[in-house]
Copies of this chain bind each other. A is one copy, B any other.
């Protein structure tokens, strides 16, 4: 879970996740949308992959990245829940 928050600490990586919201995109397509080199983007993809936030799927010459919403949800809402935030009834200790 720490890996997820570490991954989310970088603005570029958060934007990559948002870019994948609508559906999978290729590494090149994503790289083209940010003002950094392809190798740098590749490193960001690796961080996101290792956190489980995205998954890679080879499609011919390209590699398609998919957002893994459930991992994001578990981390974000899970942590929020500890503080009694979010939709939940009251999983945070109400003592």
Contacts and interface: CB of A to CB of B under 8 A. Distances in A.
Interface of A: 2, 5-6, 8-9, 11, 14, 17-18, 21, 67, 69, 72-73, 76-77, 79-80, 82-83, 85-87, 92
A6 to B, nearest CB: 5
Contacts of A18: 82-83
Contact of A85 (B6, B77, B82, B85): B77
Given A8-B5, A9-B6, A9-B9, A76 B82 contact: no
Q: 10 tightest A-B contacts by CB?
A: A87-B87, A9-B9, A76-B80, A6-B9, A73-B85, A5-B9, A5-B8, A2-B11, A76-B76, A86-B86
